[in-house]
Structure 1
Amino acid sequence: MNCQNELTYLCALRGATTCENNSVESITSAVEELLVELVSRNNLIPDQIISITFSVTSDLDACFPASIARKNTGWEKIALLDCQQMFVKDDLPKCIRLLAYVSLPNEQIPKNPYLGKAKNLRPDR
Structure 2
Amino acid sequence: MAVRAIRGAVQLDVDEREHLLASTRELVSAVMEANDLGTDQLISIVFTVTADVRSEFPAVAARELGMGDVPLLCTTEIDVPGALPRVVRLMAHVETDAPRAQVQHVYLRGAAALRRDIAQ
What TM-score do you get using the length of structure 1 for normalisation? 0.89
CA displacement at 1:76 relative to structure 2: 2.0
Q: Which residue of 2 aligns with 1:22?
A: 15
From 50, 53, 69, the counterpart of 2:62: 69
Cα deviation digits, residues 87-113 of structure 1 (max 9, x gap)? 001000000010110011145711000
CA–CA distance in 2 between the matches of 1:106 and 1:34?
Answer: 20
Query: Which of the numbers 21, 33, 37 marks the counterpart of 2:30?
Result: 37
Secondary structure, aligned partner of 1:70: helix
The structure that is helix-richer by fraction is: 2
Q: Among the aligned pairs, what percent are the same residue? A: 32
Kindly report the root-mean-square deviation, in angstroms, between the aligned alpha carbons of the 2 structures.
1.1
Question: Which segments of structure 1 move beyond 4 Å, counting only runs of 4 or more?
Answer: none
Structure 1 position 23, deviation (Å): 0.5
Alignment size in residue pairs: 117
For the pair shown, the structure with the greater C-alpha radius of gyration is: 1
TM-score normalized by the length of structure 2: 0.93
Q: 1:63 to 1:104 in 2, by over 3 A?
A: same
Distance 2:114 2:104 in 1: 15
Structure 2 portions without partners, runs of 5+: none
CA-to-aligned-CA distance 1:23-61 (integer Å, 9 cap, x gap)? 011101210110111000000101100000000001110
